[in-house]
Structure 1
Amino acid sequence: MFVTVENNNIAGRGGDSEQIDLIDLIVQLWRGKVTIIMFVIVALALAVGYLAVAKEKWTSTAIITQPEVGQIASYSNAMTTLYGENAPGVAGMQQNLINRFGSAFSALAETLDNQKEPEKLTIAPSVKGQPLPLLVSYVADSAEGAQHKLSEYIQQVDEEVAKEVIADLQDNIKLQTLNLQDSLKSQEVVAQEQKDLRIRQIREALRYAEQAGVNRPQIQQTQDVTQESMLLLGSEALKSMIEHESTRPLVFSGSYYQTRQSLLDIANLKVVPETVHAYRYVMKPTLPIRRDSPKRAITLVLAVLLGGMIGAGVVLGRNALRNYRPKAQ
């Protein structure tokens, strides 16, 4: 029983000692409040100075996706003229253009990041797990600057992609023109060979007619005449046919004139880069209303906390040293 009481007393005295120490700590801080306030003021002054000289960061964002059909109408019409039914579909062209845009934009972002004074330009999917739409952003030292620069870089990449697409189209036009011209030459050669063969056949029939003494036609229905029976037309008719065939223009099939029409259509193709776009806006570049850094409120709050902590540390440390010296003596 005595031990229990004694332990309770000891425990009670220990609790009183801890309570006295806490009160003493609060009293020390209160007495040193001027010092603490001075440190808080100094910290605030430093924070204000930092806010005044720190470089601001503002981020403008935009959301883009594949171009509309009307934005690539001239390009798709040109591809259809070039390749007809074999031309890629409009959806494929739209996907190809936005893919080109994304690659070119990423390359530009990498180039800007590797400059002596890096610029932060980013592009990424707007929705996780989906390739489109794309979220693009740019960080600048002012809200207007961020918005203007982002718009400028988007337009710059769009123009570059359009020029590349038109350059590819011009190469396709040259290649397809050569192919069609070669096709025309081949058909003309075949038509000339057919004409020469026809004349040789008539001359051969004339020779047989002269040998057989057939001068006048021996048949009435000329549509039934074959190579073997052509001599029955008579030598006079065959001579007239030879003269007629020699001056007769070449005879071509319908595919020849279709090829010529395609060649003329391609020759009239005129597609300028300004009529081709590789993207369309879902959301135009925003004008940011809140800067990324420095954060004024957070900076000031941290300055107060830091100043108060340093001031409290100085007060408590000074009092500890003051109380420590008499004990050391």
Structure 2
Amino acid sequence: MNEEIKRNQNVDAMSNNYDFSSLSSSKDEIDLFELFSIIVKSKKTILWMTLLFAIVAAGVCYLLPQKWTSTAVITSATDQQLQVLDKLSSELTVLGINIGIDSSYLLGTFEQSFDSADLREKYLINSDYFRLKMKENPIDKIQQRILIENIVNNNILSNSSLDKKDKENKHYNFYTLSYSAETPQDAYNLLQGYIDYVNAIVNKNVKIKIQRAVDIAKLNTDEQYRFDLLKAKNNLSVNIEKLKIAIAIANVAAVKTPVNGSGTFNDDDTFPITIGSYALNKKLESLQTIGDITTINADLLNRKLHLNQLNMLAIPKLTVMPFQYLQQASSSIKKNSPKSTFIVLLSVFMGLFCSVGYVLIRHFVKERKNQLAG
């Protein structure tokens, strides 16, 4: 009990010796007016440092490689664009030829060709852009190979609307095509040039497909005609032999002229011996004098006409637009990198922050030295 009383007395004594209420808290407070005054007095220093940061950032943006992208959006060709193809398709359908080319086929073929790495490389290495680039900055074959693959895989892109989660629920398919380069003009020229290059290849493939369909039809019709002609000749030979047998029987039976009656001697509906050997001989002479068997066979004559029409068929020179533009390449060119405006603004804020910090630190260091000196 006595020990507890002593401890309480010691605490009271310490409280009397140290009066905390007399301490000032002003040293722990920040005088905002003083800070603002320091910043205003050093505004020139802050301005020059901020400006220096902005100039350095602008210089860096200028020195960094530029990248501009030209973009085009395409979709299926319209009926008006396919009128030339429709006219030819109708003419071929009359001859039994189905070319199987419609707007979906054309758009799909164009997109498949556009995505071909081989075609991209062939177009690139033969472009004025690439030749000038190699002339200005000669590099070895390994570096050239790396550059080509980088451009082919990263600078030439296509995206289908089917690959995206279409929030607008569009009821048609479209493709976004893009090409990137160091300048806006190069980006546009490369994209438009590659679109024209692929378009020419698609038209070439369309003509090959049509010609192949015609050639297959010619081959099939010719083979069928030859086969039917051979069958007709065989039938003629068989009929001649049957007729000879009928004549021999008629001669044995002494039937020279047609016999009226029940036709007791009739053993062949085609060449009845009841018409007499004289008539049968005349018929034999007629069959043996046939030079062109198609003249007595309507099916063969029609098939020959079909074959002649196919042989005279000439595929006209076609230029088909395999798509329609939703957005032309020239109307959408944007800068991808570097983001100059963003970099400069960020540098301005950094410069402002650093310069204010520098001014304040310099002031307090100077003030501290003065206090120590005093």
User: Normalization by structure 1: what TM-score?
Assistant: 0.78
* 2:142 matches 1:115: no
1:237 counterpart = 2:279: yes
Query: Which residue of structure 2 lines up, in the alignment, with residue 96 of structure 1?
Result: 105
Shift, 1:294, TM fit: 4.3
Q: Which residue does 1:176 correspond to in 2?
A: 217
1:262 paired with 2:306, answer yes
Is 1:106 the counterpart of 2:115? The answer is: yes
Q: Is the 8 A contact 1:75 1:271 kept in 2?
A: no
1:206-285, aligned counterparts within 5 Å? 206-219=247-260, 227=268, 230-248=272-290, 249-251=292-294, 253-271=297-315, 274-285=318-329
| Partner Cα distance (2:39, 2:99) in 1 | 79
Q: Percent identity?
A: 21
| Alignment-mate amino acid for residue 57 of structure 2 | A
Query: Which of these residues, 12, 19, 44, is aligned with residue 54 of structure 2?
Result: 44
Which blocks of at least 5 consecutive residues in structure 1 are unaligned?
none
**Matched position secondary structure for 1:271:** coil
Give yes or no for the alignment of 1:161 onto 2:202.
yes
Which residue in the other structure is 2:129 paired with?
Answer: none
CA contact (8 A) 1:163 1:273 kept: no
CA contact (8 A) 1:57 1:291 kept: yes
The equivalent of 2:174 in structure 1 is 133
Comparing 309-318 and 193-202, the one that deviates more:
309-318
Query: Contact 2:106 / 2:323 at 8 angstroms: preserved in 1?
Result: yes
**Could you tell me how far apart the structure 1 residues matched to 2:22 and 2:76 are?**
82
- Is the contact between residue 70 and residue 334 of structure 2 (CA under 8 Å) also seen in structure 1? no
Partner residue, 1:311: 355
Pick closer, same or farther for the CA change 1:257–1:94 going to 2, 3 Å: farther
Work out the CA distance in 2 between the residues paired with 1:277 and 1:84.
Answer: 25
Q: CA deviation at 1:24?
A: 3.8
Look up the equivalent residue of 1:133 and give its one-letter code: F
Which has the higher mean CA deviation after the structures are superposed, 210-219 or 258-267?
258-267
Change (3 A) 1:64 1:258: farther
Q: Could you tell which deviates more after superposition, 313-322 or 201-210?
A: 313-322
Superposition pairs for residues 184-223 of structure 1, below 5 Å? 184-219=225-260
Cα separation, partners in 2 of 1:65 and 1:116, compared to 1, 3 Å: closer
Where 1:60 maps in the other structure, the secondary structure is: strand
Asked if 1:286 corresponds to 2:330, the answer is yes
CA contact (8 A) 2:71 2:179 kept: yes
CA distance 1:136–1:313, change in 2 (3 Å):
same
Deviations 1:286-306 (A, max 9, x none): 344764444554343223212
Q: By how many angstroms is 1:218 displaced?
A: 1.9
After TM superposition, give the deviation of residue 136 of structure 1 in Å: 1.8
Verify the 8 A CA contact 1:121 1:139 in the aligned structure 2: yes
1:159–1:273 contact (8 Å) kept in structure 2: no
CA distance in 2, matches of 1:68, 1:174: 29
Per the normalisation by structure 2, the TM-score is 0.70
RMSD of the alignment, in Å?
3.8
- Residues 151-205 of structure 1: CA deviation (Å, up to 9, x unaligned): 2111111111222232233333333222111100111011111111211121111
Unaligned runs of 5+ in 2: 1-14, 125-145
What SS class does the counterpart of residue 115 from structure 1 fall into?
helix
Query: What secondary structure is seen at the aligned counterpart in 2 of 1:281?
Result: strand
- Are residues 191 and 167 of structure 1, via their aligned partners in 2, closer, same or farther at CA, if it must alter by over 3 Å? same
Task: State how far apart, in whole Å, the 2-side matches of 1:320 and 1:159 are.
Answer: 74
Indicate conservation of the 8 Å contact 1:151/1:285, yes or no.
Answer: yes
Q: Provide the aligned length of Structure 1 versus Structure 2.
A: 318
Deviation string, structure 1 residues 90-127 (Cα, Å, up to 9, x no partner): 6xx22111111111112259756961662622222358
| Structure 2 residue corresponding to 1:151, chosen from 189, 192, 200 | 192
Q: After TM superposition, give the deviation of residue 9 of structure 1 in Å.
A: 8.7
Partner AA of 1:217 in structure 2: P
The 2-side partners of 1:276 and 1:258 are apart by: 34
Is the CA contact (8 Å cut-off) linking 1:72 and 1:275 kept in structure 2?
Answer: no
